[in-house]
Structure formats: structure tokens, C-alpha cells
Structure 1
Amino acid sequence: MNQFQYVRPTKQKAAIDALAKDANAQFIAGGTNLLDLMKRGVIASQKLIDINRLPLTKIESQNGSLRIGALALNGPVAEDRLVLERQPLLAQALSAGASAQLRNMATVGGNMLQRTRCPYFYDTAMPCNKREPGTGCGALEGINRMHAIFGFSDKCIAVHPSDMSVALVALDATVLVSGPKGDRRIPFNDFHRLPGDTPQKDTNLEQGELITAVEIPDAPFTKHVSYYKVRERASYAFALVSAAAALELDGTTIKSARLAMGGVAHKPWRLTAAEQVLVGKPATEETFRQAAEVAMQGAKAFKHNAYKLKLGPNTIIQALKTAAAA
């Protein structure tokens, strides 16, 4: 691992200024992903800016939303009373991620920023446009069973690994950031990027910007929710495919719905067209199959991940059935 400078500011402005002045600097909080990347030589930060002293850990109700500080830890957030009562889908998604030990170190802001687990990204001997732009994508003609079926480009077919982010995009969350140009709010669906011609850029953060919190608007999705994750082993594994489902029911009729998938694209994949199919329909398996069919429109598989074309709709249907029965 390369040598690096380490600073630990106590003020938010000092942290932002330190990052804005050095393009090779990185914020570090829990470090559960960043340190792995540094040890493997995937990235070589020359300066780490430890932000753990910043006051960004609160979970509070504010103006019709639940606001969660960027430095709140995944484990405690999943068990927080306000989260369980008002955003149980988020609690389920957080509990499905990683191991208990990692959840008690990883932060909400860091979870949003974690890098893909594509093996070609991690293997510095292989070509990867995300790690080294212009070298090619080893996964295109390689072992691509974990890779994208939506939103990919000929430059990158990697998927975003976060479970939490799938729930947040379904729940219409907003990311609050602060930077050299001031504060701004980014709708969660616009926070992460598709690869296009610049797969090295995972998000729409600008240089020097710091995530300070995430806000989730209050909504009637406090009972009929489900985060359903299909993986190769029961714990500490990333999703092959996952689905976040939230329903508002009037008897057996669906009044409103939220739906998103994970493990299928370079960003958490919101399924707005499928949501519209659900509204006004009975909460039956036939309705769920219709929504899943719409959700999968435009999906395209590669040599080793064609199974996702069947697993995807089945995962959506199961998530909706579980949510309806809750």
C-alpha cells in the first residue's frame, strides 16, 4: 500500500477545503471499502481526510422527512426506532447488507459511494475502464455472470453493489451535499451515474463535495414493504438480483407503489413504469407478473448472466408478494 498523508479535521469547512485543494485526496469514514481498494492497489490516495469528528450522525424527523446524517452507521440505523417505524424498507435493506461487523463500521454516506465489486475492477492485471480509462472492459468478453442487464455501455457493464441505495431510490430520497460552492440537494435517482463513456465516474458529486445527510420523505409505506435479495450464500454476499417493493393498499387494491432493483445496473434501478402498472390493480400474483414483465423491458444479457432475465422478474414478484402479505 502506498504512503499517504492523514488529516482529521473537526470542522466541516476544513474537511471540504482539504478535499477541494487536492484531487488525489479522499474522505474516509468507516473505510470498509476504501481501505480494501488501497491495499489491492486499485486506487492510490495521497491524502486521507478522516471525517469521523464531524457532527453528521443524527437521525431525526424534520419537515415531513426522515433525515439521516451521512456518518450514521448502517447497523444502528437499521435498528433505530424512527427508521423502523417510518421507513422499514430502508431497515430491511440495510440488514441485508454485508455482515454485522461491517454494518457497525460502514456509514450511510460511505455506503452510497462504495465501488463496484466487479472482479475486473479489482484485478489490476486486467483491463478496466473504470479503474484506468481507455484500457477496455475485461468483463465484456470475460466472466460476466454478476454483471448488468440494464443501462450498460460498451465501456463498462459493472453493477452497483449497495443494498441500502436500492431502498433509497425506491423511497424518493434526496442526498444533501456541501462543497466549495455551497450546499445543494440531489434527488437520489440522479446521484449515481450510468457508465456511458465515463465509467470512472460513479456519481454526480463535484470536486470537494461532502455528503452531509440523506432525507426520505414521509410516505404511507410503513407496513407493506419488502427487500428481497437473491445471493449465492445466506450472508456476506452481494446481490445477484434484489428488489425493493413498497405498497400502499386500500383493502386489496394498490393505491400507490414503489419498486426498484439492485444487482442489475451501474446504479440502483428504479422501476417507475412497473409502479404505474400496479396502481389501481388488485394485489394479486397476476398483477405482480404484469408489473415484472414491464420492469424487464429493455433488459439484455451477456454470455454468463442470461439467468438474470428469469431471476429478475421472479425476484420482483416475490418482493411484491411478500410486501402485500406483510
Structure 2
Amino acid sequence: MREFGYQRATDVSGAVALLDADPHARFLGGGTNLVDLMKSGVERPARLVDVTALPLDRIEPTDDGGLRIGATVTNSDLAAHPLVRHRYPALTQAVLAGASGQLRNMATVGGNLLQRTRCAYFTDVTGPCNKREPGSGCPAARGEHHNHAILGASDHCVAVHPSDMGVALTAFDAVVSYETADGPGELPLADFYLPVGDTPHRETALPPGALITGVTLPPVPAAAHSRYRKVRERASYAFAIGSVAAALDVRDGVVRDARLALGAVASRPWRARAAERVLTGAAADAATFGAAADAELAAARPLPRNGYKVTLMRNLIVAVLTELAGPTRPAGPAQEAAR
């Protein structure tokens, strides 16, 4: 690891000013992703600006019934908060499905949103990668890609986004707040992550030097009846090969509202809008759930060795929706974490 400077920020404006004065600096939260990338040589900041002491560590209800989550709230505190568990259980389940307890104790909400892909070609600085070195190529497209994207990819990059938390936040229309030297701003999570296109190195729409200050969840009545399901190659402490965050409001056998987002299938958490359109107003039955999954996955463009994800995701979508539409409530966060 190269030498770097370190400075602890004491207020938001001061933190932003420090990064504005040094374009080679980076904000440091829990460091669970950034420090790893510094060790591998992918990230080489001249200075780290520690933001963990900033007053951004609270979870508070909003006047309209939503939640405001500070950027330095740890993943453990987010998962355990009673309002999150009650109003957005899929978010608790998603956080508990990610990483280990020790990492969740360190990782922050803001850092989780900014974590970068775990593609082996991205983290190997001895080889090419368009995300790391624009224009150098994407060896994963013809190499090892069994866990790579089937939706929204391009010839320039086929890596997937690793966040579990981001999938649930995407399903619930979260809004990201940030601060820059020019003042505050907001980005709906739907616009926060940029499409891959031919610029995979540009991952978010955050302005240069922006500090994430929090995430706001709007009131979503259906979210109280939600679930997050993750499929991985081992029982724990592994990134997803496919995941689903879903919420259903079913009345008299008809879907009144549906929220659906997919993970580990694209370069960003994938909002399943086509599936939601099929679900809304339709009968809450197996035929509808299969049709919704098929509508979303019609756009899938699998690579030679990850076509299994199309079948996996179809089965996963149908299974989660079936559980939500059933006569019993979905498993609570503790039971889901034990799966």
C-alpha cells in the first residue's frame, strides 16, 4: 500500500472543503471496501478524509411516514433498528445477508452505496479492465464470467454491482442526499447509478467531490410486507449470484402494488419495472408471477457461461412473490438471516 495522508473531518462543510482542495483525496467511512482496494492498488488516494465523526449516524422518521438514514449509520445499526424492521423488513434482511457481523459493524450506509464490483479482472491491476483503465478492454466478456451480468451490460463491461442493501433500497424508491462545495443536492437511487454504456468507469451521477449525507426512504405501505432473498455459492459471507427484493400489496386476490428489484444481474441494482407492470392489477397467482418474471428477463443477454442466471432468477422471483402472496406473513429478519 502506498503512503497516504489522513485527516478527520469534524463537520460536513469541512469534509467537503478538504476534498474540494485535494482532488486526489477520498472520503473514508468504515473502509471495508476502500481499504481493500487500496491494498490491491486499484485505489491510490493521496489522502483519506475520515467522516465517521460527522453527525450523520441517526435513523429518524420523516413527517410523511418514511425514514431518514444518515450516511454513517453502520449496517449493523441499520438492520437492527425497529422502524426499519417494521416498515421495511426486506431492507433488514438484505443487510443481514451481506458480509459478516464484524464487517457490518464497520461498514456504513454511504460506503455501501459506493462499493465497487468484485470482478476479479477489476481487482487485478496487472491486467486490463475498462472500469479501472478506460479503453483497455473487458477480459471478463470472454474469460471467467459465471457470476457476471445478464441485464444492462455492454461490450465494455459485464461486471455486477455487489450490494445487497442497494437492491432493497432500489425497490423502495430511496433518495440519496449529498453535499458539495456548491451546496446540497439529491438523487433518486434510480438515477444514482449510471448505465454501463461505453463509460463503465463512471459509476454514479454524484458530482465530483460530493459527500453522501444520507438516504431517505419514502412511505411505501407495501414495504411492510416485503422480503429479500439471496442465492450464493456458500451458506454465508459470500456475494450473491442472484437476489430479489420484493414487496406486494394483495387485496381480494389482486395485486394492488408491487415493488421488485434484482441483485447480482447488472452493473447496478436492477429495478424490475417490466415485471411490476405485469403484476399490478393482476391476479396474485403462479401464472402472473411467472409472466412477470418472463417479462423482465426477456431483456436478458447472458454470456456463454452465465446463462444459468436466467433460470435461477425466474425461479427466485416466482418463489419470493408466491411467499409474499401466501396466507402467512414472510419470515422475520432473524429467521431470514438464519436461512
Aligned partner letter, 2:279: L
Note the alpha carbon deviations across 1:112-131, whole angstroms, 9 max, x for none: 00000000001112210111
Matched, 1:147 2:148: yes
User: CA shift at 1:222, angstroms?
Assistant: 4.3
Aligned partner letter, 2:28: I
* C-alpha distance in structure 2 between counterparts of 1:39 and 1:188, whole Å: 29
Matches within 5 A, 1:86-105: 86-105=87-106
User: CA shift at 1:286, angstroms?
Assistant: 1.4
Matched, 1:33 2:47: no
State percent identity of aligned pairs: 50
Aligned partner letter, 2:89: P
Question: Which residue number in structure 1 is paired with residue 79 of structure 2?
Answer: 78
| Paired residue secondary structure (1:229) | strand
Contact 2:26/2:47 (CA < 8 Å) preserved in 1?
yes
Aligned partner letter, 2:146: R
Contact 1:224/1:324 (CA < 8 Å) preserved in 2?
no
Matched, 1:214 2:215: yes
Question: Which residue number in structure 1 is paired with residue 302 of structure 2?
Answer: 301
* C-alpha distance in structure 1 between counterparts of 2:57 and 2:324, whole Å: 30
Contact 1:295/1:313 (CA < 8 Å) preserved in 2?
no
Question: Which residue number in structure 2 is paired with residue 112 of structure 1?
Answer: 113
User: CA shift at 1:92, angstroms?
Assistant: 1.2
* C-alpha distance in structure 1 between counterparts of 2:84 and 2:252, whole Å: 25
Contact 1:254/1:279 (CA < 8 Å) preserved in 2?
yes
Give 5+ residue unaligned stretches, structure 1.
none
Note the alpha carbon deviations across 1:128-179, whole angstroms, 9 max, x for none: 0111112111101111111111111111111000011011111011001111
* C-alpha distance in structure 1 between counterparts of 2:59 and 2:2, whole Å: 36
* C-alpha distance in structure 1 between counterparts of 2:78 and 2:247, whole Å: 19
* C-alpha distance in structure 1 between counterparts of 2:252 and 2:216, whole Å: 29
Matched, 1:196 2:200: no
Contact 2:222/2:257 (CA < 8 Å) preserved in 1?
no
Aligned partner letter, 1:148: A
User: CA shift at 1:215, angstroms?
Assistant: 0.4
Matched, 1:312 2:313: yes
Note the alpha carbon deviations across 1:75-127, whole angstroms, 9 max, x for none: 11111011111111211111111111111110000000000000000111221
How many residues are matched?
326
Question: Which residue number in structure 1 is paired with residue 235 of structure 2?
Answer: 234
Matches within 5 A, 1:160-309: 160-309=161-310
* C-alpha distance in structure 2 between counterparts of 1:282 and 1:177, whole Å: 40
Contact 1:25/1:48 (CA < 8 Å) preserved in 2?
yes
Give 5+ residue unaligned stretches, structure 2.
330-339
Aligned partner letter, 1:208: G
Aligned partner letter, 1:140: A
Aligned partner letter, 2:62: Q
Contact 2:110/2:212 (CA < 8 Å) preserved in 1?
yes
Question: Which residue number in structure 1 is paired with residue 334 of structure 2?
Answer: none
* C-alpha distance in structure 2 between counterparts of 1:219 and 1:195, whole Å: 29
| Paired residue secondary structure (1:215) | strand
Runs of 4+ in 1 over 4 A off after TM superposition: none
| Paired residue secondary structure (1:156) | coil
User: CA shift at 1:295, angstroms?
Assistant: 1.1
Question: Which residue number in structure 2 is paired with residue 10 of structure 1?
Answer: 10
Contact 2:146/2:306 (CA < 8 Å) preserved in 1?
yes
TM-score by length of 2: 0.94
Contact 2:87/2:224 (CA < 8 Å) preserved in 1?
no
Contact 2:242/2:309 (CA < 8 Å) preserved in 1?
yes
User: CA shift at 1:311, angstroms?
Assistant: 0.9
Aligned partner letter, 2:8: R
Aligned partner letter, 1:226: R
| Paired residue secondary structure (1:240) | strand
Contact 1:192/1:203 (CA < 8 Å) preserved in 2?
yes
Q: Which has the higher helix share?
A: 2
User: CA shift at 1:39, angstroms?
Assistant: 0.6
